[in-house]
Amino acid sequence: MRLFQSVPERFRRTSGSEKSVVPPTGFTAQLTLFSAAAMAFLAVFALALSQASGRLADRWSAELARSATVRINAPKDQIDAQTEAVMKVLKTTVGIAEARVIGKDEQQALLAPWFGPDLPLDALPLPQLIEVIEDETGYDSDGLRQRLAAETPGAVLDDHTRWRKPLVKAADRLRSLGLISIILITLTMGAMIALAANAALAANAQVIRVLRLIGARDAFIVRAFVRRFTLRAVGGALVGTALGMVSVAFLPAASTAGGFLTGLGFRGWNWFLPLTIPLLAGLVAFWATRWAAFRRLRELT
Amino acid sequence: MIELENVSYNYGGGELLSNVSLNLAPGSFHFLTGPSGAGKTTFLKLCYMELRATAGHVQAFGADVRSMGRDDIARARRRIGVVHQDCQFLDHLPISENIALPLAVSGQSTSAEADNLDDLMQWVGLKRRAHALPAELSGGERQRAALARAVIMSPDVILADEPTGNVDWEMSKRLLSLLVELNRMGKAILIATHDLNLIRTAKSQVNARVLRIKDRHLQLAGADL
Ligand SMILES: Nc1ncnc2c1ncn2[C@@H]1O[C@H](COP(=O)(O)OP(=O)(O)OP(=O)(O)O)[C@@H](O)[C@H]1O
Ligand SMILES: [Mg+2]
């Protein structure tokens, strides 16, 4: 501050050419700042949403794709024989890494959360379950189904696609919605800045006229406006992004046991992603203002 | 340097200027007279390329104005100093900055020209008012400032629209002598004015030609002054 005061007033006021040729406009400046901040805030959430749903989709498709279950419904006395037959089929099927009979204990553990630990498993007509893990190449599920049907009428292959597909689809859709939101937010911000720039250009028509008359090139005039709006957009977006990131960071953590929601947030290096928002805002403001300014200048001599 | 050849102009309600020709050569000194509304300001606007001739050709520094791009026009305007009838300042900047503005927009350092600016402000008697805003100046002070801004780039051509409309006779003579001085340095000068005294005084100092717009045409007014 002291440094500034020691600079002679005249020097300070005559330097910095295009900075001062446009009169300051408090109101549009504040509106632009606010819009940029709000849009950046929303963009952080859209980004967090698409990140989280992306993770969800990846995890579901990865985990569920690798495993399948064969369920054997048969009278009690035939179960063991059928299980053996199924295991034989599975062992000779190409693309299956492992097939494992799920024992009574394990079945009990699986069901305990729903029916309590004291479930009399023996009394229930529970099917026998066999877990099938596929290897890298994978197996032909239709072929396997046909072979199972031929050998053991009570065996049903459940490769989870039935309920996995819609879930993964939903998560993928959620991710695209997040991305579409980001695109829309970007375009809206561009539109708002173009509108604000247009208003500023209209309000300063006389200034622009005078500048042209004394020999200013379009680029000089455009620079004065672009500089201003880019700085405002970046400033606003920095504030909005910071607030958005803080809000995301302090979201209550989703239950880890359920794992159904992976938590709306960023993981690891993904925390750097929202930092691109102010950059993007600056770029958008730069181009939107340039476009608006050159368009308007073409109407003058 | 600026040449009009059979130029006509029409704002839309009939021709205002017809078949006008003029060559502003280096070192020439012209006065432009005519009744109010005759088209003097319009004529000057054709010269500094704010208006495009509806017929005929305008050349600026050897280039046909019609073929010039926006940047070419901007660059040509830096070589033409204009005193506008209504001054045309940036109202939010102090007058000293307004005068230095042509330097700033053409990318020249205003601090390097600070001495020049000081002298010029002194010349037009505005040194004490350097930090005033245009709105705070009197009509005559504004016109002096406008003249200072017109000449700060040391342009090849100076066009002045009623530059002495609001100043007293002493100041008029002073401004005229500045223009005469510049003319002797080889600049082409064109002054639109009603002030016959000014024309007479100028004629005693330089070889000035007096043009008159009459019935849409540009005539050379002769010895009748
Ligand atoms: N932008 C415009 N649109 C339509 N008509 C115009 C425009 N500007 C000027 N005119 C008309 O053209 C005529 C000439 O105007 P101009 O300003 O050139 O006159 P002038 O000779 O400079 O007059 P004065 O001595 O009063 O300054 C006037 O009748 C004016 O009304
Ligand atoms: Mg006029």
In order of A73, A134, A150, A207, B210, the CA distances from A97 in angstroms are: 24, 5, 22, 77, 105
Per-residue pLDDT band at A9 (split at 50, 70, 90): very low
- Token couple for A171: 């998560």
Does one domain contain both B176 and B131? no
Contact between A263 and A64 under an 8 Å Cβ cutoff? The reply is: no
Same domain, B38 and B148: no
Is residue A11 within 8 Å of A212, Cβ to Cβ?
A: no
DSSP classification of residue A273: G
Name the helix (H) or strand (E) containing A68: strand A67-72
* b/e code B12-26 from CB counts within 10 Å (16+ = b): eeeebbbebebebee
Q: Answer yes or no: is the C-beta of B40 below 6 A from any ligand 1 atom.
A: yes
With a cut of 60, say whether residue A8 has pLDDT above it.
no
Alpha carbon of A202: minimum distance to chain B alpha carbons (Å): 15
Amino acid A254: pLDDT = 57
Same domain, B1 and B72: yes
Per-residue pLDDT reduced to its tens digit, A259-275: 445 567 777 788 888 88
Element (H, E) at A233: helix A218-249
- Nearest chain A residue to B109 by CA: give it: A15
Does one domain contain both B61 and B121? no
Q: How many CB atoms lie within 10 A of CB B192?
A: 25
Say yes or no: B36 and B137 in one domain. no
Q: Which of B9, B15, B40, B143 to mutate to test the pocket of ligand 1 (most atoms within 8 A of CB)?
A: B40
| Residues of chain B in Cβ contact (below 8 Å) with chain A | 48-52, 70-71, 73-78, 82, 84, 88-94, 96-97, 100-102, 104-107, 110-111, 114, 130, 149, 153
Instruction: Give yes or no: residues B106 and B137 share one domain.
Output: yes
Residue from the list A13, A24, A214 with its beta carbon closest to the beta carbon of B94: A13
When pLDDT is cut at 50, 70 and 90, the band that residue A161 belongs to is: low
Residue A273, token pair as written in the block: 């992603």
Tens-digit pLDDT profile for residues A79-112: 888 888 888 888 888 888 888 888 877 777 777 7
Q: Mean pLDDT across the stretch B165-170? A: 85
Determine the distance separating the centroid of ligand 2 and the alpha carbon of B45, expressed in angstroms.
10
Parallel, antiparallel, or unpaired: how do β-strands A155-158 and A67-72 relate?
antiparallel
Residue A228 reports pLDDT greater than 50 = yes
Q: Which residues of B touch A10 (CB under 8 A)?
A: 96, 130
Which residues have C-beta within 8 Å of that of residue B63, sequence separation ≥ 6? B72, B76
More confident residue, A120 or A37: A37
Question: Structure tokens of B100?
Answer: 């230095």
Nearest to A15 among B49, B71, B111 (CB): B111
Residue nearest to ligand 1 atom 30, measured at CA? B37
Q: What is the CATH number of the domain that holds B52?
A: 3.40.50.300
Ligand 1 neighbour B182 (Cβ under 6 A): no
Quick check: CB of B193 below 6 Å from ligand 1? no
Cα–Cα distance measured from residue A240 to residue A278, given in angstroms and rounded to the nearest whole number:
9
Lateral strand order in the sheet of A67-72: A96-101, A128-134, A67-72, A155-158
Domain count, chain B: 2
Q: Give yes or no: residues B145 and B168 share one domain.
A: no
Predicted ipTM of the assembly? 0.91
CB contact under 8 A, B97 and A14: yes
Provide the domain limits for residue B143: 88-154
Residue B36 Cβ contacting ligand 1 at under 6 Å: yes
In chain A, domain spans: 2-56+168-300, 74-153
Amino acid present at B73? I
Does residue B161 carry a pLDDT above 70?
Answer: yes
If you average pLDDT over residues B98-122, what whole number do you get?
Answer: 85
**A151-182 residues labelled b (16+ CB within 10 A) or e (exposed):** ebebbebebbeeeeeebbeebbebbeebbebb
Statement: residue A175 has pLDDT above 80: yes
Nearest CA to ligand 1 atom 13: B37
Least trusted range by pLDDT, from A33-42, A93-102, B80-89 = A93-102
With beta carbons less than 8 A apart as the criterion, state whether A150 and A142 touch.
no
Q: Is the CB of B172 under 6 A from ligand 1?
A: no
Q: Are residues B25 and B44 in the same domain?
A: yes
DSSP H or E stretch at residue A98: strand A96-101
Distance CA B153, CA B106 (A): 9
* Confidence category of residue A258, pLDDT binned at 50, 70, 90: very low
Residues of A in contact with B96 (CB under 8 A): 10, 14
Question: Ligand 1, residues B42, B84, B196: which to mutate, most atoms within 8 A of Cβ?
Answer: B42
| B63 and B164 together in one domain | yes
Element (H, E) at A96: strand A96-101
Report CB contact under 8 Å: A21, B74.
Answer: no
CB pair distance less than 8 Å for A207 and B104: no
SS3 B21: strand
Going by C-alpha positions, the residue among B155, B219, B154, B188 that lies closest to residue B28 is: B188
Q: Is the pTM of this model over 0.95?
A: no
Give the pLDDT confidence score for residue A65 in this predicted structure.
65
Residue B211: the pLDDT is: 92
Q: Which residues pair with B82 in a beta bridge?
A: B159
**Beta-sheet strand order (sheet of B157-161):** B80-83, B157-161, B188-192, B29-33, B209-214, B217-221
Beta carbons within 10 angstroms of residue B159's beta carbon:
26
Q: What is the pLDDT of residue A253?
A: 66
Closest-approaching ligand to the CA atom of B16: 1
Q: Which two tokens stand for residue A61?
A: 């498709």
Judge whether A182 and A281 are in contact, CB under 8 Å.
Answer: no
Residues A119, A129: Cα–Cα separation, whole Å: 17
Q: How far is the CA of B43 from the centre of ligand 1 (A)?
A: 10
SS3 label, residue A191: helix
A255 touching B, CB under 8 A?
Answer: no
